[in-house]
Structure formats: C-alpha cells, structure tokens
Amino acid sequence: MIRDQQALDKLLEDTRRFVREVAIPNEDRVEAEDRVPDECVAAMREIGTFGWSIPEEFGGKGLTSEELALAFMELTQCSVAYRVVGAQNAGIGSETIIRDGTDEQKRTYLPKLATGEMLGCLALTEENAGSDATALETVAEDTGDGHYLINGTKRYITLAPVADLFAVFARTDGRQRGGSGISAFLIERGTPGLSTSGSTPKMGQEGAPIGEVYLEDCRVPASAVIGGQPGVGFATVMKCLNKQRINLAALSTGPAIRMLDDALAYTIERQQFGRPIAENQLIQAMLAECKVEIECARALILETARKRDRGEDVTMEVSMCKYYATEMCGRVADRVVQIFGGQGYVKGRGIERFYRDVRATRIYEGTSQIHLLNIAKNLYRQMG
C-alpha cells in the first residue's frame, strides 16, 4: 500500500542519490577498513534509513510494507554493509518493540532507534539453537524481587560488537526446550553482566560485524520484558521475523539489480574475438535469466507486501519471498561472476565482494531449507 506517492518518490530519489554519490564510491574503503565510515552513516541518517519502518509518532517514517520493500530495493544497490548498519534499526533492530513493546518501551527506545542514536540487534541464535530456535538454553531466572537473572551465550548476532540495545531471548519456564516459556528482554549495553565479543571473522559483509553476546548473572528489572509479559517471547520473535522475511527478500533483490547493471555495462566494454562480449548469445542468455528472476522476485515481494498491508495472512508468502529472492540473488551473483570472467573472481570490480556478501542471506533468518519446509507445511494446512 502506497500512502503518498510524492513523498515516496522523493525518498526513493534521495536513496538513489545516496547509493550513487556516497555509498558506491566508498565500497572499497568499507571493505578495507571493515567499517562503514561516519560520513556515510551520517548521510543515511539524513535520509532517515534508521527509522523507515518506525511509526511516525516515534520519529520514524512509518513506511508501509510495500513502501519499505521499494526503499530497501534501492538502498541495497551497494555493498551489504550499508544496509546492515543503516537499516537494521528499520528491521530486526526495532520490530520486536514495534510489534509487542509496552508504551513505555516504545517511548524510550523507538525515537533513539529511528535516528540511529542507538543501534538495535536481535539476539536469538545460540550454539545449540540455530534453525531450531526453540532449543535455546539461555535462562532468565525470576529472582522474586521484580528482577530476572540472565545467563547464556548468543552467537552470530549482527551488529553485536557495536549495538546499544539487545533484544535477548531466554527461557523463563525452567524447561529444556519448546516455544512456550521463552521470554524476550530489552537490555542496554552497559548493563552489568552483558558483554560482547569482537567481530567474528566471516566470509563477507565487511563493515557489518557479527559477534557473541555474553550474559553472566545479568540482572534486569521485570520492566525489561518486551510487552511486560513473560513466556510469549517466541511469538514476538516470530511476528518480527514474519515481517523481516519480506524485508530480507527486498534486501536481496537490490544487490541482484546492481549486479545485473554492472554486468550489462561490462559486456559492452569488454572485447574478445574483436567484438564486445555482449554480442555473444550465451552471454545474453545469462543476462536475460538474471532479469527474469529479478522481476519475478520483485513482483512476488510487492504483492506479498501489499497483502500484508491489507492485513491478510502472509505466513506462506513471506517464506516464498525469502526463499526465492535469496536463492535468486545467489544465482545472479554466480552468473555475473561468470560474465566478468577473471575480473569477476579477482578483487577490484566489486563482483567477488557481492558474491561473498549475499551468500549469508540464504542462511540467516531461516535457511532456505527451513523456508521450503514452512511453505510445504502451509500447503498441507490449506488443504484443511
């Protein structure tokens, strides 16, 4: 649903300008320094990326699902690190609070997340709880005096080394596993008992650190429980991820659009056998396959976003979006490396960086296999 076409057009144009004039010229620097430079962060603050999804009453732009998907497809036509740093707050960094937070939690945190004054992260995954998140072992013990004592370790948490606010999921029912009995807590950096690792070395996405979160007798008041209600944290994270699956699909379509643009330009520039490689029909076929798949992803994402905006149940569709768009992006990256030949494999053109950067999207926020299972489960459910 698009509420104000003119305002959206301006936002998309501002974002395009940021990508063209600020982000792309700094991509090699982001990789070399393994951080997004302050001036790039400032430029994203100016166009409001941090608060795109946060309601206007809390200082954000309050974009609908469809508007957000369109904005994300623009913002991600550059290295992945920019959107992680500049827009995690417009996704998993704030969504648990938007969905289920108390009025006080919303008033306290959303305005700071909307401006980027605070960086939010979502700490669910653990060593023994990945795809099966309900197996998490972090425990929050009710101390009987209006507080909880939290112990456990989270891993692979995006932005953990630099985040200010942690949505931490812990078991409050004393059981070993299961979704019920998991509670969600909002914990600020600086709270005694919460600490983080440095950046975990990884395949790509330089500038977008992931790391561990350590909770060692971390004492938090009961008011830190998201929504004030213990035991419903798993439902909260599922609601958050449900929305995020459309986001991540859009965030995977932007890089594919950029790679295709770069590939098209290269096929005209690069000459072999005395003519541009663009004249080879085998090259053209690869370009055409990329285009078809990008447009399929875009259509599926926007249709799903519109359905969500209309309040329809999109449980199956969001898995289809996440699965299709992330796999599509991987296929596009692979073809584009092929089109660039050796130039696609060596550093310098940014293509090998995209190839590494986008690989993670098929793993996080539900692996491709988990989404296929979810789609099948919903197919059977629809049979009644």
Catalytic residues: 365
Quickly tell me which residue has 């541009």 as its tokens: 276
Distance of CA 34 to the CA centre of its chain: 18
Distance CA 350, CA 251 (A): 18
Residue 130 in the binding site for ligand FAD (CB under 6 A): yes
> Which position among 87, 136, 360, 375 is part of the footprint of ligand FAD (CB under 6 A)?
360
Find the residue with minimal CB distance to ligand FAD: 130
Q: Least separation, in Å, of the C-beta of 244 and ligand FAD? A: 10
Select 195 or 369, whichever has its Cβ closest to ligand FAD.
369
Residue 251 in the binding site for ligand FAD (CB under 6 A): no
Select 102 or 368, whichever has its Cβ closest to ligand FAD.
368
Select 146 or 201, whichever has its Cβ closest to ligand FAD.
201
Q: What secondary structure letter does DSSP report for 260?
A: H
List binders of ligand FAD among 174-233 (CB under 6 A).
Answer: 210
Residue 131 in the binding site for ligand FAD (CB under 6 A): yes
Distance CA 147, CA 267 (A): 62
Q: Which span sits near ligand FAD by CB under 6 A: 125-133, 141-149, 182-190, 297-305? A: 125-133
Q: Which span sits near ligand FAD by CB under 6 A: 48-56, 226-234, 263-271, 357-365? A: 357-365
In terms of Cα–Cα distance, which of 40, 70, 73, 134 is closest to 328? 73
Helix (H) or strand (E) holding 303: helix 281-309
Distance CA 51, CA 95 (A): 11
> Which position among 20, 369, 377, 381 is part of the footprint of ligand FAD (CB under 6 A)?
369
Distance CA 203, CA 225 (A): 34
CB-CB neighbours of 190 under 10 Å: 7
Residue 354 in the binding site for ligand FAD (CB under 6 A): no
Residue 122 in the binding site for ligand FAD (CB under 6 A): yes
Spatial contact of 159 and 197, defined as CB atoms under 8 Å apart: no
Select 156 or 340, whichever has its Cβ closest to ligand FAD.
156
> Which position among 363, 376, 379, 381 is part of the footprint of ligand FAD (CB under 6 A)?
363
Q: Which span sits near ligand FAD by CB under 6 A: 10-18, 117-125, 241-249, 305-313? A: 117-125
Residue 367 in the binding site for ligand FAD (CB under 6 A): yes
> Which position among 24, 135, 296, 370 is part of the footprint of ligand FAD (CB under 6 A)?
370
Q: Which amino acid is present at 306?
A: R
Quickly tell me which residue has 């990008």 as its tokens: 294
Q: What secondary structure letter does DSSP report for 346?
A: S
Q: Least separation, in Å, of the C-beta of 358 and ligand FAD? A: 11
Spatial contact of 354 and 336, defined as CB atoms under 8 Å apart: yes
In terms of Cα–Cα distance, which of 277, 280, 323, 266 is closest to 300? 323
Spatial contact of 50 and 86, defined as CB atoms under 8 Å apart: yes
Residue 143 in the binding site for ligand FAD (CB under 6 A): no
Q: What secondary structure letter does DSSP report for 221?
A: E
Distance of CA 349 to the CA centre of its chain: 24
Q: Least separation, in Å, of the C-beta of 169 and ligand FAD? A: 8
Residue 156 in the binding site for ligand FAD (CB under 6 A): yes
Residue 284 in the binding site for ligand FAD (CB under 6 A): no
- For binding to ligand FAD (CB under 6 A), which residues are involved? 121-125, 130-131, 156-158, 210, 360, 363-365, 367, 369-370, 373
